[in-house]
Amino acid sequence: MLKQKTFSAMGILLISGTFFGCSPTLNIGQSPESMATTSAQNNIPSSPSENPTITSNDNLVSQLLNTRKCVGCNLQGLKLENIDLRNVNLENANLTGAKLEKTDLTGANLRNVILIQGDLDEANLTEADLSNADLTRADLENTNLMNANLSNANLTRADLADAILTNANLQNTNFTEADLEDAIFTGANTRGANFSGADLEGVIGLQ
């Protein structure tokens, strides 16, 4: 489980809204020309790492951060951890393998997103719309999903241990073989939900 709070996109790291990498600090919104000038002044190369991590397209990441939306974008392998993404619109986006650990996605539009094997450990998804999302084998341990909409979502083999699903909409949600140990379902609508093979040890409030 990754605990490092970084964003890696083409060799650049994002920590609390600031980029760090081979080049000096790059604040969000700083132009590439400004970055190059700063690099030259400090005699530091601005080229990416020799072994960059495969991440999402830099332009799409910038679009997401600047406009708070990236509908239908291909953001596979996105690494954007522990930052504010409240109310972003990522409907129909491909976030396969995305690293969003501890990220605040309160009220986010994540309808129809693909988050297969995504890391959302300790993320805040309060009131987020994840209807019809594919979260197969996703890590949602300790995630806050209070009042979230997960209707018709696929959570097969997902890890939701200690997750908070209070008052969540879980109609027709697929929890097949999911780890739900100690998860809280108080007030959740589980009508039509599939819990086949799920680990329900210590679950609270499941009707």
> How far is CA 165 from each of CA 66, 84, 143, 154, 170, rounded to the nearest angstrom?
30, 21, 9, 15, 9
Looking only at the bridges linking them, the beta strands covering 8-9 and 18-20 are unpaired
Q: What is the pLDDT of residue 56?
A: 56
Closest Cα partner for 105 from 128, 82, 89, 122?
128
For residue 107, the tally of other CB atoms under 10 A from its CB is 17
Q: Which parts of the chain sit beneath pLDDT 70? A: 1-56
pTM reported for the whole predicted model: 0.72
Q: What is the pLDDT of residue 21?
A: 40
Q: What is the pLDDT of residue 12?
A: 37
CB contact set of 5 (below 8 Å; sequence gap of 6+): 15, 16, 81, 82, 101, 102
> Would you give the DSSP letter of residue 26?
E
Which tens digit of pLDDT belongs to each residue from 23-72?
333 333 444 444 433 333 333 333 333 333 334 578 898 899 999 999 99
For residue 108, the tally of other CB atoms under 10 A from its CB is 26
CA atoms within 13 A on the CB side of 25: 5
Q: What is the pLDDT of residue 142?
A: 98
